Structure 1
């Protein structure tokens, strides 16, 4: 009979053969990504398109202002309305020397990469995020995003109402400090968002039309009402402006209607905690711009706009987002829409719905802040940008100051 090991010795031998206990690797906590800047994308047509000389072998340098500080960023590019793939051959990011010049801080220049590569091909209809890069950014901080493109799709994607100057020049000049002989153009192209890692913060999105987009504000002045709000928040929350001039709630106008762009412009942005909705005045104006409408058509418009508001609230709530309704500003006296008493009644009916408790999480009463105390169906003359509907910089200041910061904690 073979020799047998004592039980104690056998136990010790088996222990030596047993696998070592698994020790979990330490988890390194990272702050989540949040959106800090955005531009709603739409098809770029007519005079807003890049000129023919800028469609091939071109460098675009575009300036965007981050609303909070950060040190790790990524950039979102869009070919949402392109009909062919968009090829970015080279891209860089740097701190801009200012909001109105093409020069950059050369020491801050970093290359943007896409899965480690210098370039990327973005399919038609798609957005694409760059790899994260490390670059300290203050709040507010102007960033220069430079792209070298071999060719743009025939159908261009961008944001015409930038109120900011972009620069284009022939050749690959994305890494140059100064773009000598560059041509300025007051639109954004392809650039749709900037995100940073941020702890204990979140993003406020403003969904709206030209009043949110900043028609009547100062080019390169960053004095839209959303800019005023961002400054008041002092970097505690990011503010992303998703306004489109001429936009409507129910029907396409300048760009897709608000319901059609909700997913791309709001729900897909990371870190959103609050949504401010200020849209509907173009729906009212367009109803009767070319011909009078029947009472039934006016009633249907009010029902349609308020039903869409309810849809926006429901869909945002499903993502944990609070939704605040902005009351519509007065626009009597505007020549383009030539509103009537029936148009004003529509506005009043929609504003009454917005102010009704339980419809929105809270109300921001832009109407009360901006109307003429003597003729409340018109803008306060001190805030009128000259066309009876768009505020001037003083008006945008008043709008930004009308928002209670307590609502945005």
Structure 2
């Protein structure tokens, strides 16, 4: 059913990976303009700011949201909106260590499939910066408070990171809810062309928009290096999936389904010599979702036989995980990304045209194929409309 007038849908999200290594005291006196890409449009927006990995309270002196003009830090004229906090019309907000804050809603016509500018000014010396590293997107920094600078001319310093922002939600009366893509660097889009929004969840969002299903937000909670079982935030790969799932996946607004693609890093970096504990962890994610009435679609683990970390023991562990997933009882529905992407002449490796070049991460063509392989009715289940 369409959303109630006051309901929220996720249009963009990014899991916090850890503390930025080169900014232990924050970015004092800087305006940080994050460029992010929407999946669904709406008539109002709110932004989530995070100090999850901070070592001191985060002082937000001033914040804004705007629709990005094409190709840079400028805003579309007339779309710049000042953000306030706490329902008090306060321009500043102090965010405690380990916490997040959601802005008050602002009226803004947010288009689907377009870039937004999420800007905040941090006036004072602080603690470590909570960030997302593998953005495949250029954002910007400026000196001084340039939060509401619509021209973008002050933003002379490009940056590859998203800092302090973890979600944008919109109000859309026709929305049927949010779909969360939850995974590792493959979900995060590592290997895709920078600035192209060619992560597989981006392609999935475009498919949904062009289909009879139409009005769903698709948010990408992929974190490069993320593991099912082990916390890797010290190496900027996020908390263990079994830890962060409740917040990063189930905590998004009006979630109807979660797509899970995880386990490769437990094998490559987590030293899991068999698939048993990984499968147990994946089943735990599904049980958590079911407790909230949310269905889970999962994928088999994709090949990495040409990657530097490959060996026969790791390949056996991957095969064990995939056999369990295909057998059933792990997810509600399965998309076989392994069979889709593997080289038929060397099944332990990616098909060459689907390989970004490192033997692990797909190319743009690979990510497009992944999104095309998702059965939308299986993903959306009882929430999917009848075909017309």
1:59-110: CA deviation from partner (whole Å, max 9, x where unpaired)? 1111111101101111111001112111111111111002x40011131111
Structure 2 partner of 1:205? 180
Aligned partner of 2:312 among 336, 341, 348: 341
Alpha-carbon distance between aligned partners in 1 of 2:126 and 2:326, rounded to the nearest angstrom? 44
Structure 1 partner of 2:266? 283
Cα offset, 1:152, TM superposition: 5.4
Structure 2 partner of 1:244? 223
2:100 equivalent to 1:127: yes
2:64 equivalent to 1:92: yes
Structure 1, unpaired ranges of 5+: 1-28, 289-296
Cα offset, 1:44, TM superposition: 2.7
**CA distance 1:58–1:207, change in 2 (3 Å):** same
Segments of 4+ in structure 1 off by > 6 A? none
Alpha-carbon distance between aligned partners in 2 of 1:249 and 1:37, rounded to the nearest angstrom? 22
Cα offset, 1:255, TM superposition: 1.7
Structure 1 partner of 2:353? 382
Structure 2 partner of 1:61? 33
Structure 1 partner of 2:144? 171
2:322 equivalent to 1:322: no
Judge conservation of contact 2:276–2:320 (CA < 8 Å) in 1. no
Compute the TM-score of the two structures, normalised by the length of structure 1.
0.86
**Radius of gyration: which is bigger?**
1
Compute the TM-score of the two structures, normalised by the length of structure 2.
0.90
Alignment of structure 1 residues 362-381 onto 2, 5 Å = 362-381=333-352
2:189 equivalent to 1:214: yes
Cα offset, 1:402, TM superposition: 1.1
Alignment of structure 1 residues 36-55 onto 2, 5 Å = 36-46=11-21, 49-50=22-23, 55=27
Structure 2, unpaired ranges of 5+: none
Alpha-carbon distance between aligned partners in 2 of 1:242 and 1:277, rounded to the nearest angstrom? 10
Structure 1 partner of 2:198? 223
Judge conservation of contact 2:24–2:127 (CA < 8 Å) in 1. no
SS in 1 for 2:288: helix
2:164 equivalent to 1:190: yes
SS in 1 for 2:158: strand
**CA distance 1:196–1:287, change in 2 (3 Å):** closer
**CA distance 1:39–1:363, change in 2 (3 Å):** same
Aligned partner of 1:113 among 84, 92, 96: 84
**CA distance 1:177–1:224, change in 2 (3 Å):** same
Alpha-carbon distance between aligned partners in 1 of 2:20 and 2:6, rounded to the nearest angstrom? 39
Alpha-carbon distance between aligned partners in 1 of 2:222 and 2:300, rounded to the nearest angstrom? 15
Judge conservation of contact 1:90–1:119 (CA < 8 Å) in 2. yes
SS in 2 for 1:377: strand
SS in 1 for 2:181: strand
Judge conservation of contact 1:216–1:385 (CA < 8 Å) in 2. yes
Judge conservation of contact 2:229–2:240 (CA < 8 Å) in 1. yes
SS in 2 for 1:107: coil
SS in 1 for 2:48: strand
Alpha-carbon distance between aligned partners in 1 of 2:127 and 2:51, rounded to the nearest angstrom? 11
Cα offset, 1:212, TM superposition: 0.6
The number of aligned residues is 365
Judge conservation of contact 2:9–2:178 (CA < 8 Å) in 1. yes
Judge conservation of contact 1:160–1:186 (CA < 8 Å) in 2. yes
